Amino acid sequence: MTTNSANTANTAIAKEAVETNGAQSQQTDPPTLQLDNVSYAYTKGGKRVLKNISHDFQAGKVHAITGPSGAGKTTLLSLISGLANPTEGMVLVDGTDLSERDRYRFRSHDIGVIFQSFNLLPNLTVAENIILSMDASGKSFDKPKKAIVEELLKQVHLPKEYANERILHLSGGEQQRVAIARALSYGPSIIVADEPTGNLDPATQDDIMGIFRMLAHDEHRCVIIVTHSPEVAKTSDEVFELAPSNDGNVDVFSQSVFCAPPLFVMWSGRLMRQRGAKRSGTWMQEECNMNITVYLGAHEGNDPSYRKAVEELGAWIAGNGNRLVYGGSDEGLMAVIADAVLSHGGEVTGIEAQMFADQGVAHQGLTELVIVPDITERRTRMIELGDVFIAFPGGTGTLEEVSEVVSKICLNQLSQPCIFYNLNGFYDDMKAFLQRMINVGFSTSERQHGIYFASNLTEIEHIIATHQA
């Protein structure tokens, strides 16, 4: 075994221990995935969770990422999986900067993620869970999906008869095998697993690690495992250890599992509707996966980062198969988000007040444009249609609209999440104001449950997934 120290100079944030044997030591392939001087902070100018990280991940190897809680392991997974972009540096996949690729296509085609809590749909069968990911990928397959399911079950050491078993009837080890099969179902070249053996007995842990080694060594995939287990690290080909940054920052996601992207949750709703299952509440809409109601201004503001973030939000909405619901204008950031969703193949419903339509500012290129008598009716319709509410930085109109959502949540008239997109700390004062209401006895944390603040898309996805759970 050889031991090397990562060249992090003043940061002392990461160290590597590389273990190779046999043919693995002769690996000369270019890295499948590279971290090039990567740093990450959750807020602009804030303390960095990751600092100056560089490392290569090659196909044909099992890579273990280790480190104590707060070292940034979950954040690193988010960057590797395309859920967020580095604050500094680059994540390169096959030599291409991931931030310049279609990240949503990358996540549904090129990388398979195995979650600590499995994130399987408990009332569905094994086959339905696996086929769900195949459908969500949008890929075409050269054989029937049920046949592929049987092959995958054999690969993860489960009898083909398990295809028709409901997830509820399986043990933890069996569920983990199904989760691996699901991640493999659309043929990704990179496999990422978050604590895949955390709740398994030693024998099952060994078998699961054997599957990962087979995927790396026999199928030449790049396998990356986040683990606290010394045994898992020992049986991996390479260990990359993260240490807490000198900034003293704590990974804000360290207390929770790396969550399944809402894409999978939303496709589950579609499948359940196809099977004729009854829905509870108004979480899902029949015509699309989710309606995302976004409140934002008819001006662009004086910071270019607002437009960039809105374009990214629009691409995210479309890329996850959702419909945008917004105020229907063809001006400012309102026009930017509508055009971004449409340009990425998504659908947009605009709810415009008659007074603004008369001024000629209604967007005429939308999937659906609804003209209502006044602003009050516009607010009502946007709330009625929304499965998730996002308030982007905006002016008094935005504040008025989102305030009604906040009020309805506090009155227990809405169960959907309301997320303030706190870009560059725009809504810090609002967050403090709501807390002040609690402190002086005018509100409670229970009444405000469902009101969230997020500084980026990674946090928005996390909120949506955990709120539904």
The reply to whether 203 falls in a domain is yes
Is the domain of 214 the same as that of 356? no
Q: How far apart are CA 91 and CA 373, in angstroms?
A: 49
Instruction: Describe the crossing of helices 457-468 and 304-319 by its angle, rounded to 10 degrees.
Output: 40
The reply to whether 311 falls in a domain is yes
Contact call for residues 204 and 212 (beta carbons, < 8 A): no
Contact call for residues 83 and 52 (beta carbons, < 8 A): no
Q: How far apart are CA 387 and CA 454, in angstroms?
A: 17
Is the domain of 318 the same as that of 201? no
Q: How far apart are CA 370 and CA 393, in angstroms?
A: 24
Is the domain of 102 the same as that of 238? yes
Q: pLDDT tens digits, residue range 283-335? A: 333 334 789 999 999 999 999 999 999 999 999 998 888 899 999 999 999 99
Q: How far apart are CA 73 and CA 13, in angstroms?
A: 12
The reply to whether 254 falls in a domain is no
Is the domain of 191 the same as that of 288? no
pTM score, whole prediction: 0.57
* Concatenated DSSP letters of 47-71: -EEEEEEEEEE-TT-EEEEE--TTS
What domain count does the chain have?
A: 2
Count Cβ atoms below 10 Å from residue 395 Cβ, excluding itself. Answer: 13
Q: How far is CA 35 from CA 58, 96, 284, in A?
A: 12, 11, 37
| Amino acid 260: pLDDT | 45
| Amino acid 183: pLDDT | 92
CA 298 to chain CA mean position, Å: 28
Q: In the block, which residue shows the tokens 């179902």? A: 185
| CATH number of the domain encompassing residue 43 | 3.40.50.300
The encoded tokens of residue 366 equal 């939308």
Is the domain of 289 the same as that of 190? no
| Residue 313 φ then ψ, to 5° | -65, -40
| Amino acid 47: pLDDT | 77
* Concatenated DSSP letters of 266-311: HHHHHHHHHTTPPP-TTSS-TTSS-EEEEE--SS--S-HHHHHHHH
The reply to whether 219 falls in a domain is yes
The reply to whether 312 falls in a domain is yes
Is the domain of 129 the same as that of 6? yes
Residue ranges in 392-440 assigned as alpha helix (H): 396-410, 428-439
| Amino acid 266: pLDDT | 43
Is the domain of 363 the same as that of 232? no
Domain boundary among 242, 263, 297: 242
Domain boundary among 242, 268, 296: 242
Q: How far apart are CA 197 and CA 116, in angstroms?
A: 8
Domain boundary among 219, 242, 265: 242
Is the domain of 78 the same as that of 184? yes
Q: How far apart are CA 233 and CA 231, in angstroms?
A: 5
Is the domain of 223 the same as that of 288? no
The DSSP output letter for 445 is T
How would you classify the pairing of strands 418-421 and 238-242? unpaired
Please list the rounded mean pLDDT of every run of 10 residues in the chain (469 residues).
33 40 49 92 74 94 90 85 84 91 80 81 85 82 94 95 91 92 94 87 91 96 93 94 64 39 45 41 44 94 92 91 93 95 91 91 91 90 92 95 95 91 94 94 92 91 76
Is the domain of 96 the same as that of 205? yes
Beta strands, E only, 164-232: 190-194, 222-226
Is the domain of 294 the same as that of 176? no
CA nearest neighbour of 180 among 202, 157, 203, 163: 157
Q: How far apart are CA 326 and CA 27, in angstroms?
A: 52
| Residue 107 φ then ψ, to 5° | -70, -25
Q: How far apart are CA 263 and CA 105, in angstroms?
A: 12
The reply to whether 261 falls in a domain is no
Contact call for residues 156 and 181 (beta carbons, < 8 A): yes
| CATH number of the domain encompassing residue 330 | 3.40.50.450
| Amino acid 270: pLDDT | 44
Range of the domain at 10: 2-242
The reply to whether 22 falls in a domain is yes
Question: What number of residues does the chain have?
Answer: 469
Q: pLDDT tens digits, residue range 35-81? A: 999 998 866 667 788 899 999 999 999 999 998 877 888 788 888 98
The reply to whether 61 falls in a domain is yes
Is the domain of 285 the same as that of 212? no
CA nearest neighbour of 349 among 386, 323, 374, 372: 323
Contact call for residues 401 and 383 (beta carbons, < 8 A): no
